[in-house]
Structure 1
Amino acid sequence: MRTAGGLPWGKVPGELSARVPAERRGPGRGRDSVRLLVSHGTEVSHHGFRELPRLLRAGDVLVVNTSATLAAAVDGRIGATPVVVHFSTCGDDGRWAVEVREPDGRGTTRARAGGPAQTEVRLPGGARLVLEEPLSRDGGGNGDGTGHGRGGRLWWARVAGAPVDRVLSEHGRPIRYSYTERDQPLAAYQTVFALPSPDGAGSAEMPSAARPFTARGVAELVSRGVWLAPVTLHTGVASAEAHEPPYPERFAVPEASARLIGAARAGRGRVIAVGTTAVRAVESAVGPDGVVRAAGGWTDLVVTPERGVRVVDGLLTGLHEPQASHLLMLRAVAGRAAVDRAYAEAVRERYLWHEFGDVHLLLPHEVPR
């Protein structure tokens, strides 16, 4: 298991988990009524998310992920045993990477051993899912030809009897974990930037850093001269238990967005990624000359402090568990001292964690050029 390493603030207290969306925490609240922790290097300040437009400046570019969230959790049975299938990623060969979990009696799930090969899972509507091979770095393959993946937890599977998009739309629900209070409608997991894909592709889990944005907030950003550069990265399922680094995911950086990013870098604008998924997408489109160009396909890039970032100047993201591999990316953007300082302050000031929680804006003191 790869982790971000020990953090001085230790485990996140359970009461700091955001259990319901912000707009369901009381009358008059909206998605944008979350708190915003801002780091300029190791200097920390506290804001409301609605202050974001005045914290940015004309010429900045926000890189946003347009991937829509799928209703990726589907009940099924292996023989007489109830299970829950989390649909993660569709490979080029039509198979799906899936995780088969077991119900925990509280409306969420816990991990279970995958396999063996040829295990059949009966799904609603007459569909059948057959596990074929684990996503193993030493032989399983991942459906994209790279050979990467995860052994044991995630498997490649084929679905027969009904198209997967129909199974998800008619019988699926958003994936949720035990820190949340109850199921929420799929709309609660869509961001203002989400665009349904014609081929039914999407993210198994919400690109949640963009969740607090509203149409009104986006309009204010644009009116202040902040540009939006849409990219797409379809996220797979995270590991709630193992905190593994991400496996290969589909991404696309359009030509228009690549040009916007290039213009910001040529001027005085900062390139600020909204979410770790946006960082992965745009950093996967950087050429050897440091220029972002239109690109797409599969990316297996893992951004670490050793690799660093080549284009991204800042990052807007949620708050991550101390073992999460996402923290390696945060350190690549802002440095370890800045991340440690911010997280210690977030715990002290009782910020809320996870996809319905508060957000963190990491900015440099000066943009290196």
Structure 2
Amino acid sequence: MSAATTFTVPPELSATEPPEARGVARDGVRLLVARDRGPLQHTTFRGLPRALRRGDLLVVNTSDTEPAAVDGHRGDDSPVTLHISGPAPDNLFVVELRTPDGRRVTDARAGESVRLPRGVVASLLTAHPDPRVIEGSRLWRARIPVAGGLRPWLTDVGRPIRYSYLRGDWPIDTYRTVFAKPGPEFASAEMPSAGRPFTPAVLADLHSRGIGVAEIVLHTGVSSLEAGEVPLPERYQVPTDTADAVNATKEAGGRVVAVGTTVTRALETVADPAGHVRAGAGWTHLVLGPDRSARTVDGLVTGWHEPTASHLLLLEAVAGPRLVGRAYSAAVDRGYLWHEFGDSCLLLTSRTAYRPV
């Protein structure tokens, strides 16, 4: 994070429950619109279509959210919560251990077993991503043998991953966006939350104003990155129709607006130095930041991230440190709410549109 984006979030700005529990509709959360030219604007998410222009293209993530938290016990019988971040090679899974009150477990060791519901046992094999670590890793590669498959078991015994700032237990549908499409593979460990405020009414307004919507998939792992920790590889798919829509939008002078850091990472993974994108799928290792700025994404719909989050470097790679810093300073001053059930921001740049040679 640059010096331009330096801030402190007061505890009272954490959204501790879904907006619906506060009497606010999904699309009724606040929206800060920040352009690199002109003043900041404060509206609600229902006003998003009015902040865009005919010919712009929104790109959304259709990844579903898994009930990826399971309660269990360690070898000494102490309670623990296992977060399943996603698949790893050799039929393994990347997992994280948390205490029942949400703190990271710092003394887990390779070879340890965790007893889970219905007789399932998770075996921690090696630290992730560095297998040389023997003790104290945040993430582990684990074997979780489940008769009948992991996902049906999770449907019965799992719940959404939740952190200590949240109050209450909320059903899995609370953690799904309007775009979520269940599929055959393990999806996101946590909700692609930038898309949560979208509703059919917002989508209808976008359509009526000539603003397009295209889809990608990026399955995200646990979001509990520590200070200085870079994003880990994630699975993505950018279909041909979306690549064509992005390129046509750029050629016509429109703006490509990513809904969330997940969409930004996927699109930029398949963007060439001129900003032209191609269809693609696989694992992305791309880290956007000072050494790699955005090439094709002109704007970003996003929630509000913690001061030490690597997501801020991605935001700066799209919109620049000055604009991101202005937006975050205003959000703190005006009491915007943080985290997955909080308020939203639209960052828009005036980057020169891509023109094919």
TM range (shorter): over 0.9
Q: CA offsets per residue over residues 23-71 of structure 1, 9 Å max, x none?
A: 1102xx3100101001111631111110111111111111100001110
Q: CA offsets per residue over residues 232-289 of structure 1, 9 Å max, x none?
A: 0000012265462210000000000000001001102100000000000111111355
Indicate yes or no: 2:167 matched with 1:174. Answer: no
Alignment partner of 1:84 out of 81, 85, 89: 81
Looking at structure 1, the residues matched to 332 and 5 of structure 2 have their Cα atoms a distance apart, in angstroms, of 11
Counterpart amino acid of residue 136 in structure 1: P
Partner of 2:20: 23
Alignment partner of 1:224 out of 209, 215, 218: 209
Looking at structure 2, the residues matched to 299 and 287 of structure 1 have their Cα atoms a distance apart, in angstroms, of 14
Q: Secondary structure at the match of 2:270?
A: coil
Looking at structure 2, the residues matched to 336 and 327 of structure 1 have their Cα atoms a distance apart, in angstroms, of 9
1:29-178 map, 5 Å: 29-41=24-36, 43-79=39-75, 80-104=77-101, 109-113=102-106, 115-137=108-130, 152-162=137-147, 163-178=149-164
Give 1:153 deviation, angstroms: 0.6
Looking at structure 2, the residues matched to 183 and 241 of structure 1 have their Cα atoms a distance apart, in angstroms, of 25
Give 1:217 deviation, angstroms: 1.1
Indicate yes or no: 2:204 matched with 1:207. Answer: no
Looking at structure 1, the residues matched to 6 and 74 of structure 2 have their Cα atoms a distance apart, in angstroms, of 42
Q: CA offsets per residue over residues 139-169 of structure 1, 9 Å max, x none?
A: 58xxxxxxxxx98110000112432112211
Normalising by structure 2, we get a TM-score of 0.93
Normalising by structure 1, we get a TM-score of 0.90
Alignment partner of 1:246 out of 225, 228, 231: 231
Looking at structure 2, the residues matched to 152 and 267 of structure 1 have their Cα atoms a distance apart, in angstroms, of 48
Looking at structure 2, the residues matched to 305 and 229 of structure 1 have their Cα atoms a distance apart, in angstroms, of 28
In percent, how many aligned pairs have the same letter? 51
Looking at structure 2, the residues matched to 236 and 119 of structure 1 have their Cα atoms a distance apart, in angstroms, of 22
Higher mean displacement: 95-104 or 157-166: 157-166
Partner of 2:338: 353
Give 1:306 deviation, angstroms: 2.5
Looking at structure 2, the residues matched to 264 and 95 of structure 1 have their Cα atoms a distance apart, in angstroms, of 40
Looking at structure 2, the residues matched to 194 and 285 of structure 1 have their Cα atoms a distance apart, in angstroms, of 22
Q: What do you get for the CA RMSD once the two structures are aligned?
A: 1.9
Q: Secondary structure at the match of 1:160?
A: coil
Structure 1, unaligned runs of 5 or more:
141-149
Indicate yes or no: 2:240 matched with 1:255. Answer: yes
Counterpart amino acid of residue 114 in structure 2: V
Give 1:5 deviation, angstroms: 4.6
Looking at structure 1, the residues matched to 72 and 4 of structure 2 have their Cα atoms a distance apart, in angstroms, of 39
